[in-house]
Amino acid sequence: MTPHNDETALLADADRRALKYLDSLPRRPVFPAQQAIAGLKALDQPFREQGIAAKEVLRLLDDIASPATVSSNGSRYFGFVIGATLPAAAAAERLVLAWDQCASSFDNSPAIDRIERIAGHWVLDALGLPRNSAVGFGTSATACTLACLSAARRSLLARKDWDFDGDGLIGAPEIRVVVSASVHITVKKALRVLGFGMNRLVIAPVDEHGRIDPLQLPALDDMTILCLQAGEVNTGEFDPFGTLIPKAKAAGAWVHVDGAFGLWARASSSAELVEGVELADSWTTDGHKWLNTPYDGAMAICRDADALATAMNSDAAYATASKDAQKNLTLEFSRRARGIPIWAALASLGREGLRQMIDNHIRQASHLAECLRAAGYQVLNRVVLNQVLVRADTDQQTTAIRLAAQASGQVWFGPTVWQGRPAFRLSISSWRTTDADIKLLADLLIRLKQEITD
Ligand SMILES: *Cc1c(COP(=O)(O)O)cnc(C)c1O
């Protein structure tokens, strides 16, 4: 019994089903109906002794799971900063699956090694970051932050002649970590996993926009890692890089920037918002959010290429590779060729297409904010980017409107808490989102505000 009964027909069937799914995106509820979710129970079978035909496996998945998916690849998903997938990136991913390359190094896959190098150069070019930086294509901003922060720690300790690889942390000179009061939870996770205790983090106070206030910046020295942020998750705002980074560099600190989505503003007409970010030591950003590539695709970028390459090295006698092979720049050893859809997205957009996509979302966000303000909503942020932070007249009304919008199946967005009170967060990051989608969202929210009163 071989599981590959008629591979050609099976993959053609998968493509047919995938296309049908994409076709249905405009019509399906953005969040699945309760019934579809309950239907997933049908898949909850004991592990069988005998496998079932692959064709049947696919049918089960499509019939049962497709209706229970969230339409985050559609045009009216405004939750988190999710992004859809660009056609070129999705198509490239299909080829990546057929190639099934172990994209560790040149020896494993010359093609991937070369293309990911090119993708790395393009990313640095698009984001205006130092051209000799190392670019590791990892699974997520979380994983890439972990990689960058381990490079940071190892480098700071090496400056004090401490051999981190040999002697580890016990007895090592202490490193202070300064983070913003609105630091993203995944930066904290990376720090926690690396052994920087949460109680020892030094918190930099932020202003009303969620940006570090330079006047209240804690003391920095040459044993400090300063974590800054490009794109605060609620407001979309940026730490004042132009002021903070030169100060940190003068003190000898390592500056890391979490730019999971916001760093892409560098490629837009609003690049001035992110001025000075290029002076940092390391950056993380996602492909799977604003660049609209598939999961899992993110980048660890490090000015000192050797610092990342030594921290992440995984050469063994049986598996040596160049210093800058992807397995030596990321947490993964065997890895998916995740730089390929990123290359494909950048190749298909070009500098101008990328700028237009980002500009478009920023413009749509600001238009949406205007419509909502005019309808009596409080827009709590300045809407400099693609995030719109909203509150209705009362906390109850804010929550009830969000729940009603979610239940409508027409849109989806999530809650947040801003300055201690409930709000909701509208995020525009799908290449599919048209001005008509924005109008639909605004009209729905305006209607719900009239209908739902306390
Ligand atoms: C999403 C996000 C992250 C984490 O990115 P993942 O790719 O999901 O790990 C980090 N920082 C910010 C600001 C984010 O929006």
123 with 158, same domain: the answer is yes
Per-residue model confidence (pLDDT) at position 45: 94
276 with 360, same domain: the answer is no
273 with 134, same domain: the answer is yes
CB of 297 within 8 A of CB of 287?
yes
Residue 7 maps to a domain? yes
How far is it, in rounded angstroms, from Cα 315 to Cα 296? 24
Residue 230: how many CA atoms within 13 Å on its side-chain side?
33
Atom in ligand 1 nearest the alpha carbon of residue 184: 11
How far is it, in rounded angstroms, from Cα 372 to Cα 433? 18
**More confident of the two residues 90 and 316:** 90
Strands across the sheet containing 421-427: 378-379, 387-391, 421-427, 414-418
Residue 275 maps to a domain? yes
Is the predicted pLDDT of residue 145 greater than 70, yes or no?
yes
CB of 336 within 8 A of CB of 146?
no
Residue whose CA is at the smallest distance from ligand 1 atom 5: 141
166 with 284, same domain: the answer is yes
21 with 155, same domain: the answer is no
360 with 328, same domain: the answer is no
Residue 84 maps to a domain? no
Could you tell which of 289, 291, 296, 387 is best to mutate to test the pocket of ligand 1, judged by most ligand atoms within 8 Å of the CB? 289
37 with 178, same domain: the answer is no
Residue 15 maps to a domain? yes
Is the predicted pLDDT of residue 4 greater than 80, yes or no?
no
14 with 106, same domain: the answer is no
CATH number of the domain that 382 lies in?
3.90.1150.170
Atom in ligand 1 nearest the alpha carbon of residue 262: 13
291 with 439, same domain: the answer is no
Position 20 confidence tier, pLDDT thresholds 50, 70, 90? very high
Is the predicted pLDDT of residue 187 greater than 50, yes or no?
yes
Per-residue model confidence (pLDDT) at position 1: 46
98-108 tens-digit pLDDT: 999 999 999 99
Mean pLDDT over 54-83 rounds to 97
Residue 403 maps to a domain? yes
Residue 109 C-alpha to ligand 1 middle, in angstroms? Answer: 29
249 with 281, same domain: the answer is yes
Residue 78 maps to a domain? no
Is the predicted pLDDT of residue 217 greater than 90, yes or no?
yes
112-127 tens-digit pLDDT: 999 999 999 999 999 9
The domain boundary residue, chosen from 326, 346, 366: 346
Is the predicted pLDDT of residue 2 greater than 60, yes or no?
no
Residue 233 C-alpha to ligand 1 middle, in angstroms? Answer: 9
Dihedral, 143, 146, 147, 150 alpha carbons, nearest 10: -170
Residue 128 C-alpha to ligand 1 middle, in angstroms? Answer: 20
Could you tell which of 233, 285, 387 is best to mutate to test the pocket of ligand 1, judged by most ligand atoms within 8 Å of the CB? 233
Residue 356 C-alpha to ligand 1 middle, in angstroms? Answer: 23
Atom in ligand 1 nearest the alpha carbon of residue 298: 7
In this structure, the number of other CB atoms found within 10 A of the CB of residue 51 comes to: 11
Atom in ligand 1 nearest the alpha carbon of residue 229: 13
117 with 165, same domain: the answer is yes
CATH number of the domain that 136 lies in?
3.40.640.10
How many domains would you assign to the chain?
3
Atom in ligand 1 nearest the alpha carbon of residue 286: 7
Q: pTM for the whole thing?
A: 0.97
Residue 281 C-alpha to ligand 1 middle, in angstroms? Answer: 19
Residue 83 C-alpha to ligand 1 middle, in angstroms? Answer: 12
Mean pLDDT of the chain: 97
CB of 424 within 8 A of CB of 273?
no
Question: Which pair of structure tokens corresponds to residue 415?
Answer: 């809650």
Mean pLDDT over 285-310 rounds to 98
* Beta-strand pair 254-258/414-418: unpaired
List of residues 6+ apart from 151 with CB closer than 8 A: 282, 302, 304, 307, 308, 310, 311, 312
361-418 tens-digit pLDDT: 999 999 999 999 999 999 999 999 999 999 999 999 999 999 999 999 999 999 999 9
370 with 317, same domain: the answer is no
Atom in ligand 1 nearest the alpha carbon of residue 288: 7
Range of the domain at 412: 354-453
Is the predicted pLDDT of residue 331 greater than 60, yes or no?
yes
Per-residue model confidence (pLDDT) at position 301: 98
Residue 224 maps to a domain? yes
Residues of the chain with pLDDT > 90, as a percent, come to 97
Where b means 16+ CB within 10 Å and e means fewer, 206-237 reads beebbbbbeeebeebeebbbbbbbbbbbbbbb
Per-residue model confidence (pLDDT) at position 319: 84
The domain boundary residue, chosen from 346, 379, 409: 346
**Ligand 1, CB cutoff 6 Å, lining residues:** 81, 140-142, 184, 186, 231, 233, 258, 260-261, 286, 298
Residue 74 maps to a domain? no
